[in-house]
Amino acid sequence: MEDARPKIDMKSKTLDIHELPKIQEICEQIIREAGELLREGFRSDIRIETKSNANDWVTQYDKQCELLLVERLTAAFPTHGIVGEEGSNLRPESDLQWYIDPIDGTTNFAHGLAPFCISMALYQQTTPLIGMIYEPIGEELFFARNGAGAYVTNRLVTNKRLQVSSETNLGRSLLITGFPYDRRDATNNNYREITLMLDHAQGVRRIGSAALDLCYVAAGRAEAYWEQFLNSWDIAAGILIAAEAGATLSMLDGSPMFIQERVSLLAANPTIHSQVLAHFQTLS
């Protein structure tokens, strides 16, 4: 049966594309300012509260950073909507929505471990327009505009175009994954998938930030990333960056990607994507 849920539409866009470079510039100013806040907070006196369960943490910096992003975005784009991990849901009726994750990788941040990042994405309904992800400790900025490619700027390179790796051998591939916070109680907790892939890949990593995991696939530093039950703010920017770098993206069962609560996705270079998918299909 045809799936009625809205698919991520990577190509069509109706906003005047000439507006996007300016929006991107403002987004970069905002994300770099938020990065300064997180650098100040890193390894400082962190106050931890729990959210959905004992593993799901939030710090004062997640909240402060979301507040900063919301204030700056609202000042710059008063008609745009904002969906944020720490509870922001402004102007839901707007055609243009920002998905923001003030700290993706809160567990790392709270333990004084890098990397972690800020993730911001602008969507027009189901079409991603801009994706931007900033890792403030390594000072690495990943960004993409729909149809205009994905790029990275860090201490070594400026605006370097991203391209997924060309590796075709799964046995030489580095994979990245992650686990849901309710992994101890969930029946579907990724333990079977990771055990299987440990047998077939050169290596498997759990880095701790879904947004950066997608950027690392985009940059060809890893061949594939999969994870179950992610939220829109975890992946909204990263999927555009990965797609613009040539990654194949799908749900974990191979069906087309769409943004919703608890997305299970696979992003990989095109050859490795089909190989990983074929292994996952042996599990069902």
Q: Please measure the distance between the N-terminal and C-terminal CA atoms of the chain and give it in whole angstroms.
A: 19
Q: Between 190 and 271, whose beta carbon lies closer to ligand IPD?
A: 190
Q: Between 231 and 269, whose beta carbon lies closer to Ca ion?
A: 231
Give which of Ca ion, ligand IPD, none residue 209 binds (C-beta under 5 to 8 Å, depending on kind).
Answer: ligand IPD
Q: Cα–Cα distance between 116 and 190 in angstroms, integer?
A: 22
Q: Between 20 and 247, whose beta carbon lies closer to ligand IPD?
A: 247
DSSP string, the chain: ----SPPP-SS---S-GGGHHHHHHHHHHHHHHHHHHHHHHTTS---EEESSSTT-EEEHHHHHHHHHHHHHHHHH-TT-EEEETTS-EE-TT-SEEEEEEEEETHHHHHTT-S--EEEEEEEETTEEEEEEEEETTTTEEEEEETTS-EEEE-SS-SSEEP-------GGG-EEEE---TTTTT-S--SHHHHHHHHHHSSEEE--S-HHHHHHHHHTTSSSEEEEEEE-HHHHHHHHHHHHHTT-EEEETTSPPP---SSEEEEEE-HHHHHHHHHHHHTT-
Contact by Cβ (8 Å): 55, 181: yes
Minimum CB separation of residue 209 from Ca ion in Å reads 7
Give yes or no for residue 246 binding ligand IPD (CB under 6 A): no
Q: Between 97 and 209, whose beta carbon lies closer to ligand IPD?
A: 209
**Of residues 37-96, those binding ligand IPD (CB under 6 A):** 85
Give which of ligand IPD, Ca ion, none residue 94 binds (C-beta under 5 to 8 Å, depending on kind).
Answer: none
Q: Between 124 and 264, whose beta carbon lies closer to ligand IPD?
A: 264
Give yes or no for residue 180 binding ligand IPD (CB under 6 A): yes
Give yes or no for residue 135 binding Ca ion (CB under 5 A): no
For ligand IPD, the binding residue among 35, 84, 105, 128 (CB under 6 A) is 105
- Using the contact rule CB under 5 A, the part of the chain among 70-78, 132-140, 233-241, 243-251 near Ca ion is 233-241
Give yes or no for residue 213 binding Ca ion (CB under 5 A): no
Q: Cα–Cα distance between 284 and 282 in angstroms, integer?
A: 6
For ligand IPD, the binding residue among 66, 86, 101, 193 (CB under 6 A) is 101
Give yes or no for residue 104 binding ligand IPD (CB under 6 A): yes
Minimum CB separation of residue 212 from ligand IPD in Å reads 8
**Of residues 86-105, those binding Ca ion (CB under 5 A):** 101, 103-104
What angle (nearest 5°) sits at the alpha carbon of residue 177, between those of residues 227 and 121? 60
Minimum CB separation of residue 19 from ligand IPD in Å reads 29
Q: Give yes or no for a cis peptide into 102 (omega within 30° of 0).
A: no
Q: Between 101 and 167, whose beta carbon lies closer to ligand IPD?
A: 101
Minimum CB separation of residue 3 from ligand IPD in Å reads 23
**Contacting positions for Ca ion (CB under 5 A):** 85, 101, 103-104, 234
**Contacting positions for ligand IPD (CB under 6 A):** 85, 101, 103-107, 178-180, 208-210, 227, 230, 234
